[in-house]
Amino acid sequence: MKHTAMTIAAAALVLAAAMTTPGRANDFRAQGKSVSIRGSSLLVTPPRDWNTLSARPGKFAETWTLDGEQLNDVTFYAGVEPGEPLVRERSKKRDPLPKFTASTLLIDVPELLERTYRAARQIGAFTVTATTPEHFLDHDGVAFAYEYLDSDNLPRRGQAIATLVDGKLYMATFDAPRLHFYERTADDFRKLVASATLSRETPAK
């Protein structure tokens, strides 16, 4: 009972922070309008309105949210190239991140995300709870679910789907507080992912 009360209190703090942090979600993604992720061939046509954050987590990554990144965080990784990390490194020498490589297989992707989260977000408890084969962007892919404690010890749940195309990694992840917020937005994530395609011609960013 005590643990549940602490979790609810932590979630309330996260909600308050998300509602009072200015200037984070500064770009509007309109329902039904296809957009390119980071100027790549990865196109997404959102079934509902979304926001994107001004701060990009990495060279190939872009974060979308409905209510603030602490409450629902959808991150697209568009064509991560061999030798590159998933997110931006604070220091390549002092704090190097795991890299996607030419030898990375689909079955290795959940571990790559786990190692990235542990290193970049300074978290210890991370568990991949399920892994299944799935099609993504008309290619064989992998879908997986996971749970972890964030830096505030708030339990969070996530799911991801990934594929390899022409030696590059394409992936979408969804993270939210386990209590209430995850279930409220998980279906929106799945519908958003279902709209994703690859194209040789990309519209304006």
Residue 203 domain flag = no
Q: Is the pLDDT of residue 5 over 90?
A: no
Residue 95 domain flag = yes
Residue 133 domain flag = yes
Q: Which helix (H) or strand (E) holds 177?
A: strand 168-177
Residue 56 domain flag = yes
Could you tell me the two tokens for 94? 């002092």
Percentage of the chain exceeding pLDDT 90? 71
DSSP symbol at 196: -
Residues of the domain holding 95: 2-198
Residue 199 has a pLDDT of 87
**CB distance 104 to 96 below 8 Å:** no
How many other C-beta atoms lie within 10 A of the C-beta of residue 31?
A: 10
Q: What is the CATH number of the domain that holds 6?
A: 3.40.1000.10
Domain count, the chain: 1
**CB distance 95 to 119 below 8 Å:** yes
**pLDDT digit string (tens) for 11-41?**
444 443 443 343 344 788 999 999 999 999 9
**pLDDT digit string (tens) for 158-187?**
999 999 999 999 999 999 999 889 999 999
Residue 205 domain flag = no
